[in-house]
Amino acid sequence: MSVKLEISFSKSARLDGVTAILLKASGDGAAAGIADVDPSGVYERAAKVRKFTGKSLAKLDVVAPHGSSVDRMVVLGLGDAAKMSDHDWLRAGGTAVSTLSGVESAVVYLDAAGVDVSGKQAADFALGMLLRAYKFDSFKTSKKKDEDEDDSKVKTLKVTLVTAAASDAKKAFVDAEGVAGGVLLARDLVNLPPNVLGPEEFAARAKAMEKLGVEIEILGEKEMKKLGMGALLGVAQGSSRPPRLVVMQWKGGKAKDKPIAFVGKGVVFDSGGISIKPAGGMEDMKGDMGGAAAVTGLMHALASRKAKANVVGIIGLVENMPDGNAQRPGDIVTSMSGQTIEIVNTDAEGRLVLGDALWYCNERFEPKFMINLATLTGAVLVALGSHHAGLFSNDDALSEQLLAAGLQTHERLWRLPLGKEYDKMIDSRFADMKNSGGRHAGSITAAQFLQRFVKETPWAHLDVAGTAMGSPADEISQSWASGYGVRLLDQLVRANYES
């Protein structure tokens, strides 16, 4: 059972019957709040026995400390607290929440002895808690025996974060909660099974963001046909489920300001089509809408925190299936741009969806920039694994902003090259281009394909095939779907594009 986390900030808290978590910097100083929690000096002995010194993310756990009103005391090490990055604060919050399985009420002493925690750091700690507490288990009806028995009974976990910076923290947390909501929405969308989340169902979930003030338009097959989106429609034609193009607008900036735009690949399931994929691991292709999920989560985050920017989000939602009406290798389709594409591999479908979505975005909105996110190529996994997404861009300034946001949020990017020699690799004998340049430089030729649909607009493509899903568990995520991209792009907007 997923627990609902209720977080509040305060300068003090009631301690009877709670689990108390105390943060402690490494070194000799005591943890702040220790005198309240541990009147009879249990800590010193326990620390000695466990050789606990407050190393980063080390834990010392004492149940029912003698002479104390708390049920349990957990001291959590921070290492060199003065040197902690934003991401370290998230990790600390995530680790704190990992000690609270089966607990209903907890108090965290945030002010590590010797360091003043800022409101932002306290809010980051809380954000880490929210991200770690996420569990996708709504499809499990029976609990496995190996799971913690207590877990099933607890529905809500109330946590009071005690800090001198409580009032600043509360303000910063309003934003953090919006961002967490966006990340968790993206994770849900990616984790959901493909029978439950088709293009229409995905679009309906995007539409639900109207209540946050996001304007939503949903284009169906007819509208897309009229626009000439032959590339996107070609992918959709092998599935019995019709495609959707969702246009989301958040108008938080000045009316006359051009928008910034985010475009996502939303292949709700990628079987490969007629160029069908091998069976092993094909179930992972339910996550082939990770780019669209990140764009949707980002819009949720920006609207929730009322970002002062005009932002467009566009997602192309299709299913890539091999029925009797499916497109074939050898087919030539005409994209909205007028450019023709020879389909040489129906499994290179993401670029077809994005080509039309990017062109449409550029024509209609003339945005300041376009950033697209896509689980585009297996090759980016070979190159970068799951710790960096691939970054491709025609604009150095935009790239620098993205790389900086990546370091800040720890949703990291690595820039890879574009160039005319690579572009040439997708020239076709029969049409303006073909949809695959073969195995060599697979991620780059995919990016070159996209670039043919962006003209001179500053543009970046993030290949998130390795980072959006199948991510290794860490302090802030135990989920298959990471929600990668939401925090990254929220930070990009926050740092550079809010008036």
Q: Is 254 a catalytic residue?
A: no
The nearer residue to Zn ion, 168 or 270, going by C-beta atoms, is: 270
Instruction: Determine the size of the site formed for ligand BES (CB under 6 A).
Output: 14
Q: Which one from 24, 132, 351, 434 is the annotated catalytic residue?
A: 351
Point out which residues pair with 96 in neighbouring strands: none
**Residue 313 binds which entry of Zn ion, ligand BES, Mn ion, none, CB below 5-8 Å type-dependent:** none
Selected from 436, 451, 471, 482, the binder of ligand BES by CB under 6 A is: 436
Q: What angle do CA 65, 22, 14 make, to 5 degrees?
A: 70
Q: What pairing do the DSSP bridges indicate for beta strands 156-162 and 105-109?
A: parallel
Q: Which one from 277, 308, 415, 455 is the annotated catalytic residue?
A: 277
The answer to whether 153 and 207 have CB atoms below 8 angstroms apart is: no
Point out which residues pair with 270 in neighbouring strands: 320
Residues 260-289 that bind Mn ion (CB under 5 A): 270
Residues 274-313 that bind Zn ion (CB under 5 A): 288
Q: Which stretch binds ligand BES (CB under 6 A): 8-16, 154-162, 348-356, 416-424?
A: 348-356
Q: Which stretch binds ligand BES (CB under 6 A): 176-184, 219-227, 371-379, 474-482?
A: 371-379
Point out which residues pair with 19 in neighbouring strands: 72, 106
Residues 340-359 that bind Zn ion (CB under 5 A): 350
The nearer residue to Mn ion, 78 or 333, going by C-beta atoms, is: 333
Segment holding 320, helix H or strand E: strand 310-320
Q: Which stretch binds ligand BES (CB under 6 A): 109-117, 201-209, 226-234, 340-348?
A: 340-348
Which amino acid makes up residue 478? Q
Residue of 362, 358, 363 lying closest to 376 (CA atoms): 358
Selected from 293, 348, 357, 413, the binder of ligand BES by CB under 6 A is: 348
Name the closest residue to ligand BES (Cβ): 378
The answer to whether 399 and 421 have CB atoms below 8 angstroms apart is: no
Q: Is 51 a catalytic residue?
A: no
DSSP annotation string for 175-204: HHHHHHHHHHHHHHHHHS-TTT--HHHHHH
Residues 439-458 that bind ligand BES (CB under 6 A): 442
Instruction: Determine the size of the site formed for Mn ion (CB under 5 A).
Output: 3
The answer to whether 120 and 33 have CB atoms below 8 angstroms apart is: no
Selected from 168, 175, 347, 356, the binder of Mn ion by CB under 5 A is: 347
Q: What pairing do the DSSP bridges indicate for beta strands 260-270 and 310-320?
A: parallel
The edge-to-edge listing of strands for the beta sheet with 156-162 is 4-10, 156-162, 105-109, 19-25, 72-79, 59-63
**Rounded CA separation 316/203 (Å):** 10
Segment holding 414, helix H or strand E: strand 413-415
Selected from 36, 38, 270, 319, the binder of Zn ion by CB under 5 A is: 270
The answer to whether 108 and 89 have CB atoms below 8 angstroms apart is: no
**Residue 345 binds which entry of Zn ion, ligand BES, Mn ion, none, CB below 5-8 Å type-dependent:** ligand BES
The verdict on 319 binding Mn ion (CB under 5 A) reads no
The verdict on 188 binding ligand BES (CB under 6 A) reads no
The verdict on 463 binding Mn ion (CB under 5 A) reads no
The nearer residue to Zn ion, 350 or 390, going by C-beta atoms, is: 350
The answer to whether 251 and 351 have CB atoms below 8 angstroms apart is: no
Residues classed as catalytic: 277, 351
Sites of contact with ligand BES (CB under 6 A): 270, 288, 345, 347-350, 375, 377-379, 436, 442, 465
Sites of contact with Mn ion (CB under 5 A): 270, 347, 349
